[in-house]
Amino acid sequence: MTNSPKRLTTFLLAGVCAAATSAQAAVPEQCRTVQFSDPGWTDINVTNAITTTLLQGLGYDTQVDLLSVPIGFKSLKSEDVDVFLGNWMPAQDNFAKQYEGGYEKVRANLEGAKFTLAVPAYVKEQTGVSSFADLDEHAEAFDHRIYGIEPGAAGNNLIQKMIDEDAYGLGDWKLVESSEQGMLSQVSRAERRDKPVVFLAWEPHPMNLGRDLVYLSGADDYFGPNYGGATVYTLTRNGYSDECANVGQLLGNLQFTLDMESGIMGAVLNDGEDAGDAASAYLKSNPGVLTEWLDGVTTVDGQPGLPAVRDSLGL
């Protein structure tokens, strides 16, 4: 039987509508907004920015909530957030154990990180301090103070534990809590006066690019071996990668490097760039990373992800 033009048009329109409906169903509605936890650290601000830039290019909405590490774990367990890219281990081991069963570990997203106390190189030259055991001998020079980051952070908790246990003779020292930027501002003030200062330091971070640091040895029982050698993991709320498989695929692909993170963080901290702008600039300059990261990933309407993200970046 020969179709009339009107019947054929109706048939084609129905097919287009069905295809569109099928494509729209590629990502469940509840998965189209992705919520991230950010403890206020520049490295996680940057990795969140990279990931949200990719997701927005795929057609997702994103939301980043500024939450301390313990509240972030609690929010994963209560399913108030979907993703946490900043599970530094073993520094966050206590929180990981406390909320065990309340989240899922996707993968390691950064290898070779480190996390312990450090001093500027001139302090080692002045005092000879190169290990935790050297600190208390020079307590007066340091004003009995160790500078940390925000209250509740795992690194602060480790420092306070050392003080509480009088490890390395630090029982009469004080932990000064503020924030990442507050701590680094204090370090900069001390540096301008060539004054001894000891503080929580880590890599990746542009603090390692802009100053000569000496990471202190000898605290393996607290920070772990290799100067607090750390691996950073991606966590999600329970069942998220099954429920939102496309985002789960992206998170399973994402792996960063020390130089990548430090460079983007430098643009944020030293040049005053917005993290999202710095992340976009990095992706435009290094488009090769997109191929692996977007392998098997689609847009929200089921189209290939790589060309969509490239187009969103103007590549």
Do 195 and 284 lie in one domain? The reply is no
What's the pLDDT tens digit per position in 114-128? 989 999 999 999 999
Specify the CATH number for the domain of residue 196.
Answer: 3.40.190.100
pLDDT at residue 33, as a whole number: 98
- Answer whether residue 148 is part of any domain: yes
Domains: count for the chain: 2
Q: Whole-number mean pLDDT of the chain?
A: 91
Do 169 and 73 lie in one domain? The reply is no
The residue count for the chain = 315
Do 42 and 72 lie in one domain? The reply is yes
Query: What is the SS3 assignment for the chain?
Result: CCCCHHHHHHHHHHHHHHHHHHHHCCCCHHHCEEEEEECCCHHHHHHHHHHHHHHHHCCCEEEEEECCHHHHHHHHHCCCCCEEEEEEECCCHHHHHHCCCCCEEEEEEEEEEEEEEEEEHHHHHHHCCCEHHHHHHHCCCCCCEEECCCCCCHHHHHHHHHHHCCHHHCCCCEEECCCHHHHHHHHHHHHHCCCCCCEEEEECCCHHHHCCEEECECCHHHHCHHHHCEEEEEEECCCHHHHCHHHHHHHHHCCCCHHHHHHHHHHHHCCCCCHHHHHHHHHHHCCCHHHHHCCCCECCCCCEHHHHHHHHCCC
What's the pLDDT tens digit per position in 125-151? 999 999 999 999 999 999 999 999 999
What's the pLDDT tens digit per position in 35-91? 999 998 889 999 999 999 999 999 999 999 999 999 999 999 999 999 999 999 988
What's the pLDDT tens digit per position in 153-177? 889 999 999 999 999 999 999 999 9
Specify the CATH number for the domain of residue 243.
Answer: 3.40.190.10
What's the pLDDT tens digit per position in 258-276? 989 999 999 998 889 999 9
Do 107 and 251 lie in one domain? The reply is yes
2 has pLDDT over 50:
no
15 has pLDDT over 60:
no
Residue for token digits 């406390």?
98
| Domain extent for 130 | 113-228
- pTM, two decimal places: 0.75
Do 119 and 98 lie in one domain? The reply is no
Do 124 and 215 lie in one domain? The reply is yes
- Answer whether residue 273 is part of any domain: yes
Do 235 and 223 lie in one domain? The reply is no
What's the pLDDT tens digit per position in 228-249? 998 999 999 999 999 999 999 9
Of 228, 249, 281, which closes a domain? 228
292 has pLDDT over 80:
yes
Of 228, 257, 292, which closes a domain? 228
9 has pLDDT over 80:
no
